[in-house]
């Protein structure tokens, strides 16, 4: 068991890392962050910010010497970096677990090998794979195997020729071609698993997206209790199969009342932000606890919740002279009861960039949802889910 005031390390300086730093500080730990951005949100509140790349070995050596244990806030830290650090210091989750989640082909193969429900797919390393794809696989979604997120590196393709054109657009990068499903809804489960295999799952979340980016999350998910329980069971099976230690998120499609695993994230998740305000223990505190060998906290929700993402688009107002950059009127949000606003401290807003979120908590799930959507409209976000 690693106890305060030990130094913990965090690879990555985004908002997920920032919430980790805050949770660790509340528990009495100090945190060093390694991130190449000198203005990274996590780095701004860390006890020490190493401004360096993830392949900067002198910086990695310094991090390993200073910290008792290290975690990560995003899956695209090179597995080689995690492997290197693990020679000198405790690293959770492991490089082996993270590497499965870094590559869609490895991820799909892992899920299939463990008997988990997934959409039909093929690996695509060249145009010949697309030319020989079974006709029944279309319509489909072509996804780059690495570094795709928030809808990036994806293309919906109705047939073979569209798939080939999209593959060429992705400059021949290795992809997966995945059958497009008739989605009823999308849900996710965030859980924590400790070194002894004990797990705690947060309530299942119902998610809706705009332009491939998470827009609104509702807790509890509007799905039968049996389906929510089944989602937690499948997520726990994945965590066991990975030998995972830390906080893990699993996204599911609901198709004809059945669950299909979409993807997994070896870290806290955007859809788990609600745990900050609606649960006895947040997903970030669980990450600290699992990393340090502390008993996992109680994940129960004490309130229903609706979480809304705030993207950089909000900072741009269309006027007669074109888009104008300005700070949104946050007083519009603070007028709503039970609303908790979280801004990430990012130095500049860009279209599609996650700048913050707010969560509305209430005893009644419908009231939480309606008030969140009203607040969403008041701040200028249209086309509510």
The answer to whether 179 is annotated as binding is: yes
The answer to the question of whether 148 is labelled as a binding residue is yes
150 is in an annotated binding site: yes
Beta strands in 76-120 (DSSP E): 90-91
Tokens at 29, concatenated: 């730990």
Measured CA to CA, the distance from residue 330 to residue 227 in angstroms comes to 37
- Rounded CA separation 272/188 (Å): 9
Residue 201 contacts residue 187 (beta carbons within 8 Å): no
Contact 46, 38 (CB under 8 A): no
Cα–Cα distance, 56 to 366 (Å, whole number) = 49
Query: What are 265's two structure tokens?
Result: 């994230």
Q: Tell me whether residue 3 is annotated as binding.
A: no
Q: Is 263 annotated as a binding residue?
A: yes
Helix (H, G, I), strand (E, B) or coil at 336: coil
Decide if 180 contacts 141 (C-beta within 8 A): yes
**Residue 112: how many other CB atoms lie within 10 Å:** 13
Token pair for 81: 């970096």
Partner residues linked to 176 by β-bridges: 123, 143
To the question of whether residue 262 is assigned a binding role by annotation, the answer is yes
Is 87 marked as binding a ligand?
Answer: no
The answer on whether 289 is annotated among ligand-binding residues is no
For 313-319, the CB contacts below 8 A with 24+ separation are 313/351, 313/352, 314/349, 314/355, 314/379, 314/380, 314/381, 315/349, 315/355, 316/349, 316/351
Q: Is 152 annotated as a binding residue?
A: yes
* Angle subtended at Cα 320 by Cα 317 and Cα 322, rounded to the nearest 5 degrees: 55
Is residue 209 part of an annotated ligand binding site? yes
Helix ranges (DSSP H) in 41-117: 41-45, 57-66, 79-86, 95-102, 104-113
Dihedral (CA of 208, 209, 210, 215) sign: positive
State the DSSP code for 147. S
Is 181 annotated in a binding site? The answer is yes
Binding site annotation covers 112? no
Annotated binding-site positions for ATP? 104, 143, 148-154, 178-181, 186, 209, 262-263
Annotated binding-site positions? 104, 143, 148-154, 178-181, 186, 209, 262-263
């Amino acid at each position: 068991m690693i106890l305060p005031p030990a130094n913990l390390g965090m690879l990555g300086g985004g908002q997920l890392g920032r919430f980790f730093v805050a949770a660790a500080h509340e528990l009495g730990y100090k945190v060093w962050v390694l991130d190449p951005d000198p203005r990274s949100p996590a780095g701004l509140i860390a006890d020490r910010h190493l401004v360096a790349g993830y392949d900067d070995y002198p910086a990695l050596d310094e991090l390993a010497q200073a910290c008792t244990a290290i975690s990560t806030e995003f899956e695209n830290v090179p597995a080689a970096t995690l492997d290197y650090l693990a020679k000198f210091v405790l690293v959770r989750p492991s490089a082996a677990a993270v590497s499965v989640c870094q590559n869609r082909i490895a991820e799909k193969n892992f899920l299939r090998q463990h008997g988990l429900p997934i959409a039909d797919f093929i690996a695509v390393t060249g145009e010949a794979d697309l030319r020989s794809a079974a006709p029944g696989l279309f319509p489909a979604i072509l996804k780059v195997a690495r570094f795709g997120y928030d809808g990036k590196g994806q293309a919906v393709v109705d047939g073979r020729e569209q798939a080939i054109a999209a593959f060429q657009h992705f400059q021949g990068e290795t992809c997966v071609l995945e059958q497009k499903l008739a989605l009823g809804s999308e849900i996710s489960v965030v859980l924590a698993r400790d070194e002894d295999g004990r797990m705690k799952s947060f309530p299942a979340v119902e998610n809706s997206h705009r332009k491939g980016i998470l827009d609104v999350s509702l807790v509890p998910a509007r799905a039968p209790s049996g389906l929510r329980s089944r989602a937690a069971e499948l997520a726990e099976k994945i965590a066991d199969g990975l030998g995972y230690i830390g906080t893990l998120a699993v996204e599911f499609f609901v198709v004809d009342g059945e669950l299909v695993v979409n993807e997994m994230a070896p870290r806290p998740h955007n859809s788990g932000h609600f745990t900050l305000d609606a649960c006895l223990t947040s997903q970030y505190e669980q990450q600290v606890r699992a990393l340090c060998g502390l008993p996992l906290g109680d994940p129960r929700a004490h309130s229903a919740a609706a979480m809304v993402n705030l993207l950089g688009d909000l900072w741009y107002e269309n006027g007669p002279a074109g888009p104008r950059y300005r700070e949104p009127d946050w007083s519009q949000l603070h007028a709503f009861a039970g609303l908790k606003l979280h801004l990430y401290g990012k130095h500049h807003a860009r279209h599609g960039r996650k700048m913050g979120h707010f969560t509305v908590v209430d005893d009644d799930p419908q009231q939480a949802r309606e008030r969140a959507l009203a607040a969403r409209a008041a701040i200028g976000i249209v086309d509510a889910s």
